[in-house]
Amino acid sequence: MIGVVDFGAGNTRSVLRGLAAVGAATLTVDRPAQLDGVDRLVLPGVGAAGSAVRELRRRDLWEPLRAWGVAGRPLLGICLGAQLLLDRSEEDAAEGLGLIPGVCRAFPPPQAGGPRRVPHIGWNEVRLAGGVSVEAYFVHGYWLDPADPACVRGTSEVDGFTFPAVVRRGSLTGVQFHPEKSAAFGRALLAAFAQGLLDAPHLAALEAAPWT
């Protein structure tokens, strides 16, 4: 059973539909007790980091989410959900769950080498660590900056600025794009998560395989 955390962040329903489309059994999680009924967890998210943290705390989900990750249980963070896996965010000076060391950063201005188009919205290439390139759909104004470069398992580029699009630490995976909106690749990624194929030792082989 896959739990999808619902804290009013906008894309929970689309993630549930995406998982249902690949045959995964799901449960909406909006209170801590429901975590007892799931084996894998998705933390989605759209919007601002500060309000997301406040809402997760209001629903008493913040510390249980941290405990889930510390225990090494499978967790997929999507967009804002991926950003919350890090130590902190420059958006709203928000704290993160601290599960992947690093900072969620604002894009630098164009004169400092940053992209002209912020927020970054639309389809873009993602280059996976195994050498495969896929297309995914992005909507974001901040980017993942893990402290350990080995955590970066995929990158993307906008206006010459390269940023991590997939980060990984143990059983934790964060994707800056929206797999539920990323057509065949997104469906394949959600199916891989549901089947445990994003877990080691499968990850390296998956990154080098065609995503169809």
Consecutive H or E run containing 155: strand 152-158
Q: Is the dihedral of CA 193, 85, 154, 15 positive or negative?
A: positive
Q: Which of 95, 178, 202, 207 is catalytic?
A: 178
- What is the 3-class SS of 25-39, one letter each residue? CEEEECCHHHHHHCC
CB of 132 within 8 A of CB of 209?
yes
Consecutive H or E run containing 187: helix 183-194
Q: Which of 91, 104, 140, 180 is catalytic?
A: 180
79 is catalytic: yes
Q: Which of 79, 91, 120, 151 is catalytic?
A: 79
* Per-residue buried b or exposed e for 133-170, using 16+ beta carbons within 10 Å of the residue's own CB: ebbbbbbbebbbbbeeeebbbbbbebeebebbbbbbbe
CB of 7 within 8 A of CB of 50?
no
CB of 76 within 8 A of CB of 43?
yes
151 is catalytic: no
Distance CA 209, CA 107 (A): 31
104 is catalytic: no
Residues designated catalytic = 79, 178, 180
